[in-house]
Structure 1
């Protein structure tokens, strides 16, 4: 599925813990993993310079954690100085990464406007899928829990669907993953259409539940052709609330999303469904730009 993966950590997001679970990540299909840490430029003084001391400390910390790495996975460590987004994009290109894993703190739209978001910046600068993990969860998992989580990162996905071009793009991306996987890392997905009559322009005119179910049945048949187990559900109500409730009931590994507005001026003016779900979801989010 995703064989070449870039894992980004700032050591406060809990993702550095994944260095202890390389063998478990291998069971999720990963064969080449790069652990990346970006060190800010030292700006105390007239001339900005590379903070070599912090680079060495980060390299040592990651290397020590990888002392018992899996022989089935090639692992690299990259510690570079500069702006995180620029470094992530450069390293992803260098290693031909197929997936970027990063943490994302829960925050409001107002806070995001003030301080920015690495995920939001990346989402419109790369076509590489992003797996966004909530740091509070990764930090509090026991080793046993994190072992299982790493093994089943993509086993069961929830796909919010609303009939738009973006939603159809998401379905095609998931179908492509299922077609390309060498083993059944992705086994099941749940299609959930929430009929939310909130007047947003990016959602078509409200349709009847029977019409929505008919469309989901067509998509289900298409996805079952690539050996996926597919469930469908039509709900009514507030879209974010209903999707999170559906996720809890469906026992999923992650929520799959796609959007073309996150990180853009348009999303700042009117927050998109995908951006809101990223802010409120405690579930991992597999995001397709």
Structure 2
């Protein structure tokens, strides 16, 4: 789906391990990979100063990415210096995206609550409302636990099978449109299949049946299924009842999903404290990789 990837790492998220898997990432269709690590300033009597020791350490950790690269892929290392705040890191990442015309940013984000995010900051939530390119959000616990053999396979099939939660909303339709556009000119071995899942949540009187609505939802998904199948994708559909977050996580487990695709104009905004965001909750709670598509 993508040709130019920016991988940002703080060395605690495990993403720096990807320096060993450039050939495997190339097999997923990537032609350019940029590794970025924000080196925090050394605090010398409250005067910002480049920390040469940390800069050298970061260079040493990421430089293996430059070795044994296939001829068809470009690899770069970016080591900007900035303060340790989430906002400063996000600003440095966005500058690198513009410099290299990156199409996808990979970030590591731990599971946490919305309140914790607002209190202590989050680079991902700072990026989400500002970026014009998608974010691929991975759990540090999973990336760190992969063996090298497992990591190699993950890199080869980075976005092979996508789960699209659909509810008829503008955001959900935007995700389908985005995936369809990417599928038209996708590299070989990059995207094979999609799952469209509509979760109906009960509200009001329990005795009211959701069966009539489920039929309408199925018909809507079938139309989208045909559209995506015309792009030579394998497409499955599913309509179920229950809690949306829990059911989507169950589907991701049952169907061997590579990533869950979401979009939202609320995620990362201050008003998310009062306006719930399904996409935001998936980012914070799902163990599966999340592909966050910027809103239209």
Structure 2-normalised TM-score?
A: 0.92
Q: Does the 8 Å CA contact 2:160/2:190 hold for their aligned counterparts?
A: yes
Matches within 5 A, 1:182-221: 182-197=187-202, 208-221=213-226
Q: Does the 8 Å CA contact 2:10/2:37 hold for their aligned counterparts?
A: yes
Matches within 5 A, 1:129-168: 129-168=134-173
Q: Matched residues in 2 for 1:64 and 1:155: separation?
A: 26
Which region of structure 1 is more displaced relative to structure 2, 119-128 or 14-23?
Answer: 119-128
Q: Does the 8 Å CA contact 1:195/1:206 hold for their aligned counterparts?
A: no
1:11 matched to 2:50? The reply is no
Q: Matched residues in 2 for 1:122 and 1:64: separation?
A: 27
Q: Does the 8 Å CA contact 1:20/1:66 hold for their aligned counterparts?
A: no
Q: Matched residues in 1 for 2:179 and 2:216: separation?
A: 23
Q: Matched residues in 2 for 1:30 and 1:63: separation?
A: 19
Residue of structure 2 in register with 1:254 after alignment: 259
Q: Matched residues in 2 for 1:284 and 1:255: separation?
A: 6
| Structure 1 residue matching 2:143: 3-state secondary structure | helix
Matches within 5 A, 1:7-46: 7-46=7-46
1:279 aligned to which of 284, 290, 294: 284
Q: Matched residues in 2 for 1:198 and 1:91: separation?
A: 45
Residue of structure 2 in register with 1:202 after alignment: none
Residue of structure 2 in register with 1:85 after alignment: 90
| Structure 1 residue matching 2:35: 3-state secondary structure | strand
Residue of structure 1 in register with 2:58 after alignment: 58
Residue of structure 1 in register with 2:130 after alignment: 125
1:94 aligned to which of 79, 83, 99: 99
1:225 matched to 2:230? The reply is yes
Number of residue pairs the alignment of both structures matches: 284
Q: Matched residues in 1 for 2:261 and 2:146: separation?
A: 22
Gaps of 5+ in 1: 200-204
Q: Matched residues in 2 for 1:107 and 1:198: separation?
A: 27
Gaps of 5+ in 2: 83-87, 205-209
Q: Does the 8 Å CA contact 2:42/2:50 hold for their aligned counterparts?
A: yes
Matches within 5 A, 1:68-83: 68-82=68-82, 83=88
- Measure how far apart 1:66 and its partner are: 4.0
Q: Matched residues in 2 for 1:18 and 1:206: separation?
A: 47
Structure 1-normalised TM-score?
A: 0.94
Q: Does the 8 Å CA contact 1:197/1:206 hold for their aligned counterparts?
A: no
Q: Does the 8 Å CA contact 2:29/2:189 hold for their aligned counterparts?
A: no
Which region of structure 1 is more displaced relative to structure 2, 62-71 or 5-14?
Answer: 62-71
- 1:45-72 CA deviation, whole Å, 9 max, x = no partner? 1312222221122012211454333333
Q: Matched residues in 2 for 1:66 and 1:230: separation?
A: 38
Which region of structure 1 is more displaced relative to structure 2, 142-151 or 47-56?
Answer: 47-56
Root mean square deviation, CA, Å = 1.6
Q: Does the 8 Å CA contact 1:25/1:151 hold for their aligned counterparts?
A: yes
